[in-house]
Amino acid sequence: MSCGSTPGQYRNEAARTIREEPQVRDSVTKATLTFDAHRVEAFAQIDSERWRDWARDVKTHLLTHLDTYLEEAEAQLIANGAKVHWAETAEDALEILAGIIREHGIKSAVKAKSMLSEELQVNPHLEKLGVDVRETDLGEYILQLLGEPPSHIVGPAIHKSLEDCRELFHERLGTPVNAEPDELAAAAREALRKDFLAADLGISGGNFMAADTGTIALIENEGNIRLSTSLPRVHVAFVGIEKLVPTLTDVAGFVQLTSRAATGQPVGNYVSLIQGPKKANEPDGPEEVHVVLVDNGRTKLLADDEAWEALRCVRCGACLNICPVYRQTGGHAYGWTYSGPIGAIIAPGILGLEESMPLPHASSLCGACADVCPVRIPIPDLLVHWREKAVTAGLAPKSETLGLKAYSALAQRPKLFNTAGAIMRRAPLELGGRALPILSGWVLERAAPEPSAKSFMQMWEEGIV
């Protein structure tokens, strides 16, 4: 399902959410603080600095040898009996999916939570093809009933409260108005059980892919991914090309680090390690496994000498959980699949720089994200990097360009700088809205600051100090 918004609408959507949906800010704040507290506890149990260094270095090695590992992974998957497809764009990925659906006469599908499948807009395409698709992750199921996209990488429905769920399930599943969470969960289990058993196709993403064994690793807590990738006769996995790791033993480190960073668990409740279709000595499992390796702008990011570091991302959501900007609105205000700090630094590669604006500016550069990222992505530096690229591309607002050029010119001429300062202090911000359009946003939400009676440099000059 599509967002209904775009990154370009960030300011309006953020303002609207804060103003009209204060419960979103409350729900998201509560959820993210909880996730982060669990992460802190889980990191304290391990030598987290060493784990993070290791993970950064493995991913850096992987990315600088990506072509070799992609070829190795493909060969292994084929040897395992899986089929491998390569998709340059989202359209290509959807076309590949359509081909598989036609070939197998697929009528119904169950879906595991996959951010890549959101990025590619798989569900609307399945609907167009006449395939009945059911989201099986509880949070995604709730959102599918509501017609909303996910708002967080790990907890897609954190912007919804218990009351929201009660109301929804009462309406759609017939549960009592004041049903306990257990009753709501039982109703979802029963409703989705039929879908699991009847589906022709299971769709998943891939958290990691080990090149040496051709293994797709998937992390979850509910079991819906295990079910979606085990019961239907066909399994299609969409995997971004950056999701590879060199070896299956590397996967051991990554599933643990990602789980600790995301929810504070030593490991997600279920980890699926999938090599290919069922073997002869196995009583059940899919007859066909298709892996779709997806580019969709990742090679563009890889080519950027700074932004390529963003490809290390393991999609743990820790940066969203610590981000004081994300916390105020949740993910929908960002207008794209990936929100928060990581969304802002990969959007220019996947969506394009112009389409991503102003996301790289939707940050105060506080640096909290870099402190928690398990693969040490220098997120604030990359935000500034994209801001620089935006300036070079002529995407900076005119008032900002003129204002900062003028400011810089003054700052190199101390006497003029001080004179300008003296004038500005006499024209307070309320009036300065026209004189200083770059600062007019201030007074919308705050009282204008009172300048000091005299500037310090003036006090010094006059010998007052």
Partner 1 sequence: MSARDRILGRVREALAERKQEAHPGPFGGWRSEGEDSPAVDRFIQLFEAAGGEVVRFDDDAVAAAWVIDFVSKYDAVSMGRLARGPTAVGAESPELVLKSADPADSDVGISLAYGAVAETGSLIMTPQDGRRAQLLPPVHVVWVEEKMIFPMLYQALSTLGKDLPSAVGLHSGPSKSADIGQILVKGVHGPGRLIAVLLAAKRNST
Partner 2 sequence: MKVSLFATCLANQFYADACADTVRLLRHLGVEVDVPKAQTCCGQPAYNAGRRAEACDMARHTATVFSNSGYIVLPSGSCVGMMRSHYPDLLSEDETVPDLVERTFELSQFLVRVMGVTKLGKGLEGRQIAYHHSCHALRELGVRDEPLALLRGCGAEVVPWEADEECCGFGGLFSAKLPETSAAMADRKLDTLPEVDVLTSTDGGCLMQMSGRASRRSVGPPFKHLASLLWEGVGT
Give, in degrees to the nearest 5, the angle at Cα 311 between 385 and 31.
Answer: 90
Containing 458, the helix (H) or strand (E) segment is: helix 456-461
| Least distance to partner 1, CB of residue 118, Å | 16
Site for partner 2 in 327-356 (CB under 8 A): 327-329
Return the DSSP state at 447.
Answer: P
Task: Work out which of 91, 171, 400, 430 binds partner 2, going by CB under 8 A.
Answer: 400
Contact region for partner 2 (CB under 8 A) — 61-69, 160-168, 264-272, 321-329? 321-329
Beta strands in 275-351 (DSSP E): 288-294
CA distance 181 to 165: 9
Q: Considering only the stretches 127-135, 246-254, 312-320, 415-423, report the one whose residues sit in contact with partner 1 under the rule CB under 8 A.
A: 246-254
CA angle 393, 396, 402 (to 5 degrees): 120
> How large is the angle between the packed helices 181-198 and 162-173, nearest 10 degrees?
50
Under the criterion CB under 8 A, does residue 189 sit at the interface with partner 1?
yes
Choose the contact partner of 5 out of partner 2, partner 1, none; CB within 5 to 8 A by kind.
none
* CA–CA gap between residue 408 and residue 416 (Å, rounded): 11
Cβ(194)–Cβ(108) under 8 Å?
no
CA–CA gap between residue 146 and residue 143 (Å, rounded): 5
Q: Which of 114, 256, 337, 363 binds partner 1 (CB under 8 A)?
A: 256
Least Cβ distance, residue 145 to partner 2 (angstroms): 29
460 near partner 2 (CB under 8 A): yes
| Residue numbers 7-26 binding partner 2 by CB under 8 A | 10-11, 14-15, 18-19, 25
Identify the CA nearest to 373 among candidates 217, 255, 241, 257: 257
Q: DSSP label at 151?
A: S
- Binding test (CB under 8 A) with partner 2, winner from 116, 358, 373, 382: 358
Question: Does residue 450 bind partner 2 (CB under 8 A)?
Answer: yes
Among 129, 173, 185, 404, binds partner 2 (CB under 8 A): 404
Report what 407 binds from partner 1, partner 2, none; CB cut-off 5-8 Å by kind: partner 2
Between residue 166 and residue 225, which ones bind partner 2 under the rule CB under 8 A? none
Q: Hey, what are 174's tokens?
A: 């017939």
Residues 115-174 that bind partner 1 (CB under 8 A): 136-139, 142, 155-158, 160-165
Q: Are 411 and 404 in contact (CB under 8 A)?
A: no
CB of 188 to partner 1, least distance (A): 6
Q: How far is the CB of 333 from partner 1 (least distance, A)?
A: 20
